[in-house]
Structures are given as structure tokens and as C-alpha cells.
Amino acid sequence: MSVIKVGKVLVSTDFSDAAAKALPYAISLAQEYKAELHIVHVVEDSLYYAQFVYDGAPFDPTVLIEGLVEDRKKKLGEVLKQVPSGVKAQTHLRRGVVATEVISAAKDIDADVVVIATHGRTGFRHLIFGSVAERVVRECPCPVLTVREKAHGMLA
């Protein structure tokens, strides 16, 4: 029987309530295995470029996106403050398609496990927005722990 070795835990956050519920699982894994914790947020800036048109003329949202990036860096800092001092943790801000960037981040840091929240969208919303968690589970090179938005309480 082999022993599972976990040296790096990646947790994805979009700063939602669902992501806030995934963080304790990632922290717990990092503590249990004395692993590094990598907190990843992806700014999907292509959505912002596609949405900005003013009076029929394209509007360059670069300044707005840069402001968004700075805001998200601050939010990552707030998430980092929730990590106990005994856990070695760092944040990563990436830009691109969320699922693609989470998978790339897992590869780049050689993650042993990814923890990601699932919003539980169904029907039309699932069809339109897809499922980031679903794609990460299918394509990630390492195991993925999904945490439902309405997850039960963690065991003590």
C-alpha cells in the first residue's frame, strides 16, 4: 500500500461564498500534510473587452481592467490573512479563461491536489456559463476536490 504524499495544495477562488467554503478544506489539507498552499484567482479580462462599446464605438477598458486587477490583488491579500501562520502560503493572480488558467497553474506549480468550489448551476445557467469545476476535474493533471456551495459543516 502506497502513502499519499501532498506537498502542494492549490485552491481556486473567485471570492464568492462558495469559494470561501472551499478554502478551509484546502487549509486543512495543507496543515495535515504540511504542504504549501497556493491560492489562485483568475481575472477573465476577455469578458470585459467584449462588453465595452460606447455609442457604437469600441471603448478600451484597459484602465478599468487594471483597476480590477489591483482590486483582486487586495482581495487575494485578504484571503491570505485567513491562512494560519503555520501554513506556508502564497497567492497567484492570473489572467485568461478561468478553467484553463487553474489547470495551467496546477501544472506550473506541480500541485498534488486542487480544491475548487462548485456553484451548482443547472439548466440554462449551466449551459451558458458552463462549469469551471467540471472542466478542471476533467482536465487537471492531479486529483481535484470539489466543494459544493451548500457543503455540510467540516468535521472537527
- pLDDT number for residue 58: 63
Domain assignment present for residue 154? The answer is no
CA 140/CA 110 separation, integer angstroms: 11
Contacts of 97 (CB under 8 A, 6+ apart): 42, 44, 46
What is the tens place of the pLDDT at every residue in 125-137?
444 445 888 899 9
Q: Tell me the residue range of the domain where 80 lies.
A: 8-148
- Count the Cβ atoms, other than its own, within 10 Å of residue 83: 20
Q: How many domains is the chain partitioned into structurally?
A: 1
Does any domain span residue 130?
Answer: yes
Stated pTM of the model: 0.84
Element (H or E) spanning 115, and its range? strand 113-118
Please indicate, yes or no, if residue 114 is contained in any of the structural domains: yes
pLDDT confidence of residue 118: 87
Look-up of cell digits 504549501: 36
Statement: residue 144 has pLDDT above 80: yes
CA dihedral for 2, 108, 62, 48, sign (positive or negative): negative
**The residue type at 143:** P
pLDDT band, very low/low/confident/very high, at 155 (cuts 50, 70, 90): very low
- Are 29 and 56 in contact by the 8 Å Cβ rule? The answer is no
In a domain, 3, yes or no: no
pLDDT tens by residue, 5-49: 999 999 999 999 989 999 999 999 999 999 999 999 999 876 555
Q: Across residues 89-99, what is the average pLDDT?
A: 95
The three grid cell numbers given for residue 15, joined into one nine-digit string: 471570492
> Residue 54 in 3-state DSSP?
strand
Residues in a beta bridge with 57: 54
Across 44-53, 58-67, 70-79, the highest mean pLDDT is recorded for: 70-79
* CATH (domain of 69): 3.40.50.620
Q: Is residue 37 part of a domain?
A: yes
- Residue 127: the pLDDT is 47
